[in-house]
Structure formats: C-alpha cells, structure tokens
Amino acid sequence: MATIEQIILRTILDSRGNETVEAEIYTDCGFGRAAAPSGASTGTYEAKVRPPREAIEDAQKNLIPSLIGEDALDQITFDALLREHDGTTDFSSIGANVAVALSLACAKAAASSLDLDLFRYLGGAFANATPLPLGNVIGGGAHAPNATSIQEFLVVPTGASGATQGVFVNAAVHKTVKKILQERGKLSGKGDEGAWAPAISDAEAFEIMSEAINTVSDEMNVEVRMGIDVASSELWDGKQYRYKDASRSREDQIAYIAELVDRYNLIYIEDPLYEEDFEAFADLTAQVGDRCLICGDDLFVTNVERITKGIETCAANCVLIKPNQIGTLTDTFEAINLAQENGMETVMSHRSGETTDATIAHLATAFGCIFLKSGVVGGERIAKLNELIRIEELI
C-alpha cells in the first residue's frame, strides 16, 4: 500500500501563457506531479474544464480531504472517487483539468512508491517498444488563423529504427521546411505547437512538405511519410466545409481527402470530416483505410461510448488519445483497450496548450500506441520527445 498523505494543487502557466492546474501527490514512500494541458480546437463531447483558480479552491475545500488516506496503488478506486465526487458525466463540477492532473499524479506517485518508471508500472513486462513520434511541421487552422486552412501538416518517420532516430528525423524535416520557406520569402512565425505558420495555401504547404520530406529521406536514408490533421469540425458550417480558397460539400470533402491520400502518399489523416458524421468517416475509411490511418479526435474524444459507435459503424481505423478529454487515467486506459481489442490503432497526443509534463511519453509506451503526437520543437514539446528517448534506452 502507498498511502496518500498530502495533495497539493497549484496554478501554473502553460505554453500559451494561460493558467492551468498542476497537482502533486505525496505518499508515505513516493511522489508524483502532473499538469493539465488544454486544447485550442476542442471536441463538443470533451470533458469540461473550469477556471483553474476557482476549480483549485473548490477542490481544496471539498475534494482533497476525501482523497487523503487512499492507496495510490489502487488507481481504479482513486479515479472512481473523482467521478463520484464530481457527480456529472463530463467533470463539469470539479473540472477535467483538476481531475486529469490528480489522476496522473496518483499514477506517478504509485510508480515512485514502487521505485518504477511510470511506463513500466503501467505497462508491465510487455511494455517493450516505444511509439514513433508524430510531429507538426506546418500549422494553421485554430492554431494559426492566418495560415493554412488545414490545421496541421505532420511528419512521420516510418522507416526510423526507433523513437530516438525518429525524433531527429522529424527535427530535420522541420529545419528543412524553414530553409525552403526562407528561400521562397515565406518564412514567418510559429503556431501554438511550434509548427511554422506561413501565409500560404494548403497546396503550397503540401508541396513544401513533400520537398522537405524527400530531401531528409534521401539525406538520412530513412523512409519519411506525411500526415495531416484537417480539424474538419472547425471548417464545417452546417452545410459545407469552408476552406480559405474553396467550399466543399460532404461528398466533395470525402473525394478531396481520398485524392490527397494518393497524391501525397499520406499515412495518417486526423478528423477529415465533421465530428458527428460517422457515416462519412466510414465512407472514407472504406476507400482509403487499407493504406492510411483515418484517426478520430473530435469524433471520439477518448470516450468509450463514441469509440463503440465508431466500431459499430466502421468509422475509422485509429483513435487519438488525449487523457484530458476524458478526465482520468482509468477512462483513458479503457478507451485505448476498447480500440485496440477491435483492431484499431491508437495515437497518444499532446494538446496545443502544453506544459513540460512528459507523462504522455510514458502512457504511449505503456499502452502500446503506434505514435506519440507531441510536436517537433518548443520546450514543452521537447520535454516529451526527450523523455521518449530516455524511455527507449530503458527498454
């Protein structure tokens, strides 16, 4: 038993300079710390956050006393207590930011109490492979409104020998894109996740990404592929998908995405369609799912009920996992387990508003995710990638 003796909640800053929640849990023989991230483009069905200072004040008075004395090694009971105290389906009472920080801090305190790394504590003896890094290189959408319509142009080092090489391959692509943008007089700033955010069209972004990927692939002698996060719910106006240079109907959107898969050899597409349109997702997956991962983020929001619907409708072959979308580690594990048991890949993901907390690198390894989506550059992104490198050394 690892008895919880003290819990501290505090307000800290995330990568956007916004306030968020950090939790520390002390047991009689261990310690864990975790912080809640936040998203810019969020799914309708995500667990709800509360203003950090208000949520912390309430938790300190009403929640924390009930958690003192609990066993940090009993994660399921700890998370159940969070839900029981909250009393809602979406953590709108205590706040998902408080819930996820506490839940992850509990797991880290438990691992510390056993003198284990978190990935080993959660994954056991069979946590024997690290995920490849999936990184955002050119960004727009909600992350950089004056740039591309498509929210993220991603790089995947599919031919890398492992996560470590993959991290450096992705960094090389990011640097090569910078060079190309400079040569074209298009270099500007970066978006929330450290991706370049030039004022270019989606077509130009695809061209630049392809050039950079081919260059790095040849120089480093490793296969590199492209992916995208369309974040289509941000484009959907109820009737059409409105890009900066075009408007597309539901059918046009499906055809457009399928064309992109073949034209650019895409390996990964996230949220290609509106979050409520399971049928359209299924149509696209039927067309290209044999050669590309169709991943649901806003579609599934790490929610077992929505993943179940996705399985029943064959809506996608991949699920994006964000612990703060659902609120607890137990719920996160159940979502991953359901997806994997039904033949779907899982991708562990950061949020656009991040901290230097590197917990998701451990979760991705422990739970057998194919990719860790955590950006390419920026201190809060590098914290996770460097931790992934360290984890790979231990496996």
Q: Which two tokens stand for residue 3?
A: 């008895």
Q: How far, CA to CA in Å, does 275 sit from each of 169, 233, 287, 306, 363? A: 32, 6, 19, 10, 25
CB 217 within 8 Å of CB 223: yes
Which residue in 22, 46, 70, 193 is the catalytic one?
193
As a whole number of angstroms, the distance between CA 307 and CA 45 comes to: 12
Q: Which two tokens stand for residue 107?
A: 């797991």
Which residue in 22, 24, 108, 322 is the catalytic one?
322
Residue list, annotated binding site for substrate:
143, 152, 270, 297, 349-352, 373
Residue with tokens 């029943």: 312
Residue list, annotated binding site for Mg(2+):
229, 270, 297
Name the residue type at position 359: T
Q: Is 322 a catalytic residue?
A: yes
Residue list, annotated binding site for (2R)-2-phosphoglycerate:
151, 322, 351-352, 373
Q: Is 193 a catalytic residue?
A: yes
- List residues with catalytic annotation: 193, 322
